[in-house]
Structure 1
């Protein structure tokens, strides 16, 4: 939902009405979690959202509508989920579009960790901060997102049911801030820039691999997009890569570029 632009239904109707693409069945799944957003992977800390998409949503939709091929697309965490789902499950998805998705974790996450550490100490730990956060009447106060995002990403990339801290391992010591390389290594295995090499055969099976990002992305995601692009080129994996002059925010107009391409890829 873009309050300054079209909602997704109106956008799809316009693209179809103007002949940019044909009709598609487009489920819009709400996977938001208490720890903020979703990376669309299985986690003991957040739930089995990978399974949910493939084993519940897909069968539910296909029991009601005729489907020949499936594509997946999204922006930000949704972009991340799209490329990771495509890599993990080429038998489920035939095309993917990744708009400004999380990648090159060293650039997009680590800058938030000192802020998160300070907030955790102030509130008695991550769980105390999260309880405080959800009690606030205005949760859009500047400065809160990096802390919530740190909890959310740790919940997805380094869950640990035996951890006394929300069932999560953090890549830094919660008291001293000392780096925990063994935990960070678990995060890096989920970084798309590192996954490309392992899942190149899956990406080659896609009828469309579409990636774009704004050159002024405030979360530094342009660098991750560029690295993915380069690694796809090195492996001669066919893809579409575009950069545009904008930030991370209010960029759903980019769906005007990706959705017609996805329609043609799935239709062809």
Structure 2
């Protein structure tokens, strides 16, 4: 009996020694989203990981900003889908990374995705990340308020956003990691020939499109999913508030069964694709301390492996140093857990490339 009690005592000491951070949620009014014409709520939420010892010290920390994917929120990214707290606690405990603050902003919209793009119609979503969220964190937490101590990452739509915001705000973030970035350029399932454009023309109604998105989540059918994605993209890439039904123009429309291509809208969309942005942001890309892209070989979305490699090759043609890696996995099965990409690749990446201080004992 004494041996059992002693063993439990040792076990309690062991657990007490494990670094345990805290996860909290904050809310603030984002200046860049106020007075938008699409009715998007400027009151935004942040899920924030604070490392062990934050409450009792005066040490300042580097910050990793995490951008969620389409249909997600800050809590889905940090707690529901990926158990960031568990991964961060273990990474800090085992020395994979020094203690850092990690924050996921809520960038969800009425159509379930902002695509981290400044829009005349629905608000400036890139500025929301690069200005509002960073300012809030620096004013309310003990961050190291310096570019060299800020990292930016995201998955899928968030991976797209990490590349876009990383280019637009290279003077704010120094290291960027993009996981399975979506819609970098046209290809495969993300193309002008996708039947979801016809579905949008036929429905021409926000609620009906969102209902189709909900049903696609139950059936795994992509047509309803892409109809909602394309509508969300149109809201920020080619807004048109005079279109009372969907508040946007589309690159493809249908009159009965006849397809109509709108070259002006196509140009607007392509101007927002990170692949084409490279040409205009070469100095910013070269100024980054580190840039990494990775994607799964067995992706659920056929455009992602092709356009990720295409993006990397274009960077390489401009001699922009970066890391690019294809791994065996699909859109999300190799992200969480202690063998997943976030724990094995992303957190050590930021530990290497972000400047920070070591807390004093």
RMSD: 2.4
Any residues of structure 2 matched to 1:1-268 within 5 Å, and which?
Answer: 1=76, 7-63=83-139, 64-67=141-144, 68=146, 69-102=149-182, 103-110=184-191, 113-118=194-199, 120-121=201-202, 123=203, 125-127=204-206, 129-130=208-209, 132-133=211-212, 140-143=218-221, 144-175=224-255, 176-219=258-301, 220-252=303-335, 253-256=340-343, 257-267=345-355
Q: CA deviation at 1:35?
A: 0.9
User: 2:157–2:181: 8 Å Cα contact kept in structure 1?
Assistant: yes
**3-state DSSP of counterpart to 1:27:** strand
Paired with 2:317 and 2:292, the residues of 1 have a C-alpha distance of 16
Paired with 1:179 and 1:203, the residues of 2 have a C-alpha distance of 33
**3-state DSSP of counterpart to 1:237:** coil
Q: Quick check: 13-22 or 174-183, which moved more?
A: 174-183
Paired with 2:209 and 2:123, the residues of 1 have a C-alpha distance of 18
**3-state DSSP of counterpart to 2:137:** helix
Paired with 1:50 and 1:95, the residues of 2 have a C-alpha distance of 17
Which one has the bigger helix percentage? 1
Paired with 1:200 and 1:17, the residues of 2 have a C-alpha distance of 38
**3-state DSSP of counterpart to 1:177:** strand
User: 2:238–2:269: 8 Å Cα contact kept in structure 1?
Assistant: yes
**3-state DSSP of counterpart to 2:308:** helix
User: 2:199–2:227: 8 Å Cα contact kept in structure 1?
Assistant: no
Paired with 2:193 and 2:89, the residues of 1 have a C-alpha distance of 39
Paired with 1:261 and 1:74, the residues of 2 have a C-alpha distance of 14
Q: CA deviation at 1:165?
A: 4.2
User: 1:209–1:238: 8 Å Cα contact kept in structure 2?
Assistant: yes
TM-score using structure 1 length? 0.89
User: 2:197–2:253: 8 Å Cα contact kept in structure 1?
Assistant: no
Q: CA deviation at 1:137?
A: 8.2
User: 2:299–2:330: 8 Å Cα contact kept in structure 1?
Assistant: yes
Aligned length: 265
Runs of 4 or more, structure 1, over 6 Å off, are 2-5
Structure 2 runs not aligned, ≥5 long: 1-75, 357-361
Return closer, same or farther for 1:182/1:139 CA change in 2, 3 Å cut-off: same
Paired with 1:88 and 1:35, the residues of 2 have a C-alpha distance of 24
**3-state DSSP of counterpart to 2:265:** helix
Structure 1 runs not aligned, ≥5 long: none
Work out which structure has the larger RCO, using CA pairs closer than 8 Å and 6 or more positions apart in sequence: 1
Paired with 1:187 and 1:248, the residues of 2 have a C-alpha distance of 23
Paired with 1:58 and 1:133, the residues of 2 have a C-alpha distance of 35
Paired with 1:5 and 1:179, the residues of 2 have a C-alpha distance of 38
Q: CA deviation at 1:105?
A: 2.3
